[in-house]
Chains A and B, each alone.
Chain A
Amino acid sequence: MKVISAYSIKGGVGKTALAVNLAYAVRERGLRALLIDLDPQGAAAFYFRVDSAERFKMSDARSMVDGLRRNIRESDFPGLDIIPSNLAYRHFDILLHSMEKRRKQLRTVLEGLTADYDVVLMDCPPNITLLSENVFRASDAILVPVIPTVLSQRTFEQLVGFFRDKDLPCGILRPFFSMVQGRSALHRRIMAELPAAHDGFLKSSIPFSAEVERMGVQRMPLLAYSRKSTAATAYRLLCEEILTPWEPAH
């Protein structure tokens, strides 16, 4: 079982679209996927027409596992399940603060939850909190969408700085270019420079696409309604790039 997180400090960079489509691409490869929507906005679950999670008691790791397990919802696509978000998740941080081993609690929770899955994907809220730190410590890879702009580049570098400060393994950070506009000279310039500065930069990138934006109307992953679009192909390639090195483990 591998844990992949879609994470960015900055919002609006294609993080949820990544989590949703990557989850779909994983099940297309015959693997069992669980998508956990940790973002209280609940956009990932919305894309699957899944209601918010029921509230549940979160006093320790055990009760969190039970509550999350009760909230597993099978998507319309066999092999892909979702744990929807809940506004109460915004209290995760307070809860984690009160626990022992508070920086590693999420890993314990996932271990109790994920026996039925090959890949767990987490859509994380866009901020740096104790929950984020838990996500970092529980993940095998953290996919960071980076729009090829100066501001995005800066926020990514902030994230790398945080990893160094906290002595977190930078190797699990897997940035990739998102919402790429090939005609933009700025995009082209940053795409030429930034990967050289970070070892884990993925070769795959996701183009800016109106098709992706239609996900809100279609309420399903792009890969389900526009299977052959350029963006759908890009998500599949990204999925392959992430999973291939792990495949002997599956």
Chain B
Amino acid sequence: MGILDESSVAGQFVMPEVATPGLLAEAWAGGVEVAGARTLVVTLWDTFEWGIWHGGHVLLSVGASFRLCRREGGWIGAEVSGEEISGPKPRMARDFSNPAMREALGPMLGLRGLAAVGSARLRSRHAEFRNAAGKIVCRVEWVDVFRHGREADPVASFAGVRPLRGYEHDAEAVAEVIRANGGSSTGQGPLDAILRVAGHIPRVYTLRPVAGLEAGMSARSAVCRIARGIFPIIVENERRIPDDLDTEFLHDYRICLRKLRSLLSLMKGVFPDEATEGLRGVLGALARETNRLRDLDVCLLAREEYTELLPPVLREGVGGMFGDYEMERAAQFKKVASRLRSSAHRQRMESVGAFFENEADHGPSEGADVPVGPLAFRRIYRRYRKIRGIADTLGVETPDEAVHALRIECKKLRYLMEFFSELVPGNEADAMEKALRRLQNRLGQFNDYSVQQRSLIAYWKNRKGRAAEAPGLPLAVGGLISVLYQRQQEQRGEIQEGLDGFCSGATAAAFKRVFKLPVQSGPAEGSGS
């Protein structure tokens, strides 16, 4: 719908201040009826990643009424679902009680939480353009956007032309009238104005920023560029962790810390060893401080899954356990949030940022001036061969630790490929990364089952308080561990299948073709392992 009615927008115009719907009426030979204005305060909601906007929708609230609508450029389109919210504002998809709303929002939100991203007062007027027979041939919705508290001057005015099926020519004529009255098609609509007032522009959020690498640039220069792309993401997420809107700020903060740390070790020799180790230590410490909080987030995110794994009669048994997790999480969160606000933490963060600011600040090192292209490719290919070597030794009897080691190696290779995919010509890296991702997903699942079992055992060993006395708890924990163990074993077969695909055939040929360089003498390089 438009702000108030349903139909799609065919032409979108930004209108000059002097134009009014009345002016358009004067310029139209047929009759025009302009309906009275309707004013409403609209608040827009989205996630940090703009999942709803990029999903082609808009979630808005007017008072307690939430409506999910399709987005047509900068205009509100047809309503998909809606709900009246009487209690606290919804944060996650599950906070809506309307199943249609939950289902539509689920994929767009993922694990991200909703926050208000803009609010404004809208005045909407509708004009109906008729032909000589008195038939409506076009509708125009005229929307003025006002900043709160400044109701006299609109921030911007927009006209949306909505043709009626079979009368598209008339709509084009109406659009001409609008153009003649100063309307300009910028592709923007009221939604853009609301967000602009709030200081927001929907952007694409990525954990893989483009660094602008070239194969011939020095390795140190390339590493600094990559790091300068990652560091702002760390800062951006770190600043939002204390709001506790969702678990993904901490998650992404940790991913990027880990990436930066891996970058240093995978490209060992690019900085003097002492400096590399020093910074690795800082990054490791920063990540470790949030380990427990992340573990608890993972446990709590699995609550629904755990509950569904158990037969109904045992489900009550784990209720208390999750209650304990929630309490511990609240305490951990407080601790982490306070640490993030401390001056010591700020100083450490500043030191991380400063490390990559100026590459000349560091002393010479063996790999600093080596061209990054050949260096990175050699290390990627070496890492790939190492994984193939491990894969050859794997079997059904392989201990979990060996699978874990394979997972770590795959992660290192993935990071290397992510960092330097810009240097791979065409889209060749995509298929290789896809095969790697498939294998990693299986390894990750295997590891998750293992970690979850350990975590349940740890909870059981250290249990105390009333929740621990719940009569169903031993059965429920035991039941869960059994199921998780079973699933972990099943996952072994999947891993073997993933390895077969990744270590042979087209993928192996592609790795060799792209990353294996002709042997030549050149400057020494570090091991990078």
Do A50 and B165 form a contact, CB below 8 Å, given A78-B5, A78-B6, A78-B7? no
Contacts of B6 in A (CB 8 A): 78
Binds A, one of B129-137, B141-149, B509-517: B129-137
Does B167 reach chain A (CB closer than 8 Å)? yes
Cα–Cα distance between A74 and B135 once the two chains are bound (Å):
10
Chain A residues with a Cβ under 8 A of chain B: 48-51, 71-74, 76, 78, 81, 219
Identify B166's interface contact among A49, A71, A78, CB under 8 A: A71
Least CB distance, A90 to chain B, in whole angstroms: 22
Contacts of A76 in B (CB 8 A): 135-136
Contact B133 A74 (CB under 8 A): no
Cα–Cα distance between A72 and B167 once the two chains are bound (Å):
10
Contact B166 A74 (CB under 8 A): yes
Cα–Cα distance between A41 and B167 once the two chains are bound (Å):
22
A49-B134, A49-B135, A74-B165 known; 10 other A-B pairs, CB under 8 Å?
A49-B133, A50-B135, A72-B165, A73-B164, A73-B167, A74-B164, A74-B167, A76-B135, A81-B165, A219-B134
Q: In chain A, what residue has the closest Cβ to B1?
A: A78
Cα–Cα distance between A73 and B5 once the two chains are bound (Å):
19
Contacts of A72 in B (CB 8 A): 165-166
Contacts of B133 in A (CB 8 A): 49, 51
Contact A48 B165 (CB under 8 A): no
Cα–Cα distance between A71 and B166 once the two chains are bound (Å):
7
Q: Which 9 A-B pairs have the closest CB atoms?
A: A73-B166, A74-B164, A49-B135, A74-B165, A76-B136, A49-B133, A49-B134, A72-B166, A72-B165
Cα–Cα distance between A48 and B134 once the two chains are bound (Å):
10
Least CB distance, B31 to chain A, in whole angstroms: 12
Cα–Cα distance between A19 and B167 once the two chains are bound (Å):
23
Q: In chain A, what residue has the closest Cβ to B135?
A: A49
Contact B135 A48 (CB under 8 A): yes
Interface string of B281-322 (1 = CB under 8 A from A): 000000000000000000000000000000000000000000
Contacts of A49 in B (CB 8 A): 133-135
Least CB distance, A246 to chain B, in whole angstroms: 22
Contact B165 A73 (CB under 8 A): yes
Cα–Cα distance between A51 and B134 once the two chains are bound (Å):
11
Choose among A48, A51, A72, A76 the residue with the greatest number of B CB atoms under 10 Å from its CB: A76
Contacts of B164 in A (CB 8 A): 73-74
Contacts of B166 in A (CB 8 A): 71-74, 81
Interface string of B2-19 (1 = CB under 8 A from A): 000111000000000000
Contacts of A219 in B (CB 8 A): 134
Least CB distance, B100 to chain A, in whole angstroms: 15
Least CB distance, A247 to chain B, in whole angstroms: 18
Contacts of B167 in A (CB 8 A): 73-74
Determine the interface band of chain B, counting residues with CB < 8 A from chain A: 10 to 19
Chain A interface secondary structure, helix, strand, loop or mixed? loop
Interface residues of B in 153-198 (CB under 8 A from A): 164-167
Cα–Cα distance between A222 and B521 once the two chains are bound (Å):
92
Cα–Cα distance between A76 and B138 once the two chains are bound (Å):
9
Q: In chain B, what residue has the closest Cβ to A83?
A: B166
Cα–Cα distance between A73 and B167 once the two chains are bound (Å):
7
Cα–Cα distance between A76 and B167 once the two chains are bound (Å):
11
Cα–Cα distance between A71 and B165 once the two chains are bound (Å):
9
Cα–Cα distance between A71 and B134 once the two chains are bound (Å):
19
Contacts of B7 in A (CB 8 A): 78
Contacts of B135 in A (CB 8 A): 48-50, 76
Cα–Cα distance between A50 and B167 once the two chains are bound (Å):
10
Q: In chain B, what residue has the closest Cβ to A76?
A: B136
Cα–Cα distance between A219 and B139 once the two chains are bound (Å):
19
Least CB distance, B49 to chain A, in whole angstroms: 34
Cα–Cα distance between A73 and B135 once the two chains are bound (Å):
11
Contacts of B5 in A (CB 8 A): 78
Q: In chain B, what residue has the closest Cβ to A219?
A: B134
Cα–Cα distance between A50 and B164 once the two chains are bound (Å):
12
Cα–Cα distance between A229 and B133 once the two chains are bound (Å):
26
Cα–Cα distance between A76 and B134 once the two chains are bound (Å):
10
Least CB distance, B4 to chain A, in whole angstroms: 12
Q: In chain B, what residue has the closest Cβ to A116?
A: B165
Cα–Cα distance between A73 and B6 once the two chains are bound (Å):
17
Cα–Cα distance between A72 and B165 once the two chains are bound (Å):
7
Q: In chain A, what residue has the closest Cβ to B133?
A: A49
Q: In chain B, what residue has the closest Cβ to A48?
A: B135
Q: In chain B, what residue has the closest Cβ to A51?
A: B133
Least CB distance, A82 to chain B, in whole angstroms: 8
Least CB distance, A219 to chain B, in whole angstroms: 7
Q: In chain A, what residue has the closest Cβ to B5?
A: A78
Contacts of A50 in B (CB 8 A): 135
Cα–Cα distance between A71 and B7 once the two chains are bound (Å):
19
Contacts of A74 in B (CB 8 A): 164-167
Cα–Cα distance between A81 and B164 once the two chains are bound (Å):
10
Cα–Cα distance between A194 and B135 once the two chains are bound (Å):
41
Least CB distance, A134 to chain B, in whole angstroms: 24
Cα–Cα distance between A50 and B165 once the two chains are bound (Å):
12
Contacts of A51 in B (CB 8 A): 133
Sample 12 A-B pairs with CB under 8 A, ordered by A number: A48-B135, A49-B133, A49-B135, A50-B135, A51-B133, A72-B166, A73-B165, A73-B166, A74-B164, A74-B165, A76-B135, A78-B5
Contacts of A71 in B (CB 8 A): 166
Least CB distance, B451 to chain A, in whole angstroms: 48
Q: In chain B, what residue has the closest Cβ to A73?
A: B166
Cα–Cα distance between A48 and B7 once the two chains are bound (Å):
19
Cα–Cα distance between A86 and B7 once the two chains are bound (Å):
28
Cα–Cα distance between A51 and B165 once the two chains are bound (Å):
14
Q: In chain A, what residue has the closest Cβ to B131?
A: A49
Choose among A49, A50, A81, A219 the residue with the greatest number of B CB atoms under 10 Å from its CB: A49
Cα–Cα distance between A78 and B139 once the two chains are bound (Å):
11
Least CB distance, B170 to chain A, in whole angstroms: 11
Contacts of B136 in A (CB 8 A): 76
